């Protein structure tokens, strides 16, 4: 099974808990924070392969948790945020979108769960990705040990 197939299977097999959260997090702040977290995870090792770009887009477009958002809106944010994730200065902006979820513990936790699901989609939760999850957790005031 290829990388894209793995991503699709994992997105389609999302837990019932995540699926029940779809309507609760149907807001722009959650969308921005989640896609920013995903972009930072994808670029955690400092390089983004074409296969990773395709896989991330497929994951974001097909994940049940993000199904309440329009595909064009998700696509535009994903493209923009992936480009920004490559710049040290613009990473700060992306971390700001993630941090905006800090006041809602459930949204913050769900954002981290989504980013981890993407990181694990290729079957390899790389050390760089784990470090990024720790950084995201710090920005959200979450205990990373609960997720790693």
Q: Where are the domains of the chain?
A: 3-146
CATH topology of domain 3-146: TerB-like (1.10.3680)
pTM above 0.85, yes or no: no
Q: What is the pLDDT of residue 124?
A: 80
The CA–CA distances, whole Å, from 54 to 73, 79, 87, 141, 144 equal 16, 11, 20, 31, 28
pLDDT at residue 93, rounded to an integer: 94
pLDDT less than 50: residues of the chain:
15
Q: What is the pLDDT of residue 31?
A: 92
The whole-number pLDDT of residue 86 equals 85
CA distance to 103, 105, 119, 123, 145, per residue, from 127 (Å)? 28, 25, 10, 13, 14
Identify which of 104, 100, 124, 106 has the alpha carbon closest to the alpha carbon of residue 41: 124
What is residue 131's predicted lDDT score, i.e. its pLDDT?
Answer: 94
Q: How far is CA 119 from CA 40, 92, 97, 110, in A?
A: 10, 20, 19, 14
């Amino acid at each position: 099974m290829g990388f894209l197939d793995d991503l699709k299977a994992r997105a389609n097999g999302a837990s019932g808990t995540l699926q029940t959260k779809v309507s609760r997090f149907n807001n722009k702040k959650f969308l921005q924070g989640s896609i920013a977290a995903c972009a930072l995870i994808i670029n955690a090792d400092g390089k983004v392969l074409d296969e990773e770009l395709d896989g991330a887009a497929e994951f974001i477009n097909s994940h049940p948790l993000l199904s309440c958002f329009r595909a064009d809106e998700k696509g535009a944010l994903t493209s923009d945020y992936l480009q920004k994730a490559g710049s040290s200065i613009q990473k700060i902006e992306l971390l700001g979108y993630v941090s905006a979820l800090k006041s809602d513990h459930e949204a913050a936790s769900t954002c981290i769960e989504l980013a981890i699901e993407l990181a694990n989609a290729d079957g390899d939760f790389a050390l760089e990705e784990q470090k990024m999850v720790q950084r995201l957790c710090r920005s959200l005031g979450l205990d990373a040990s609960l997720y790693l």
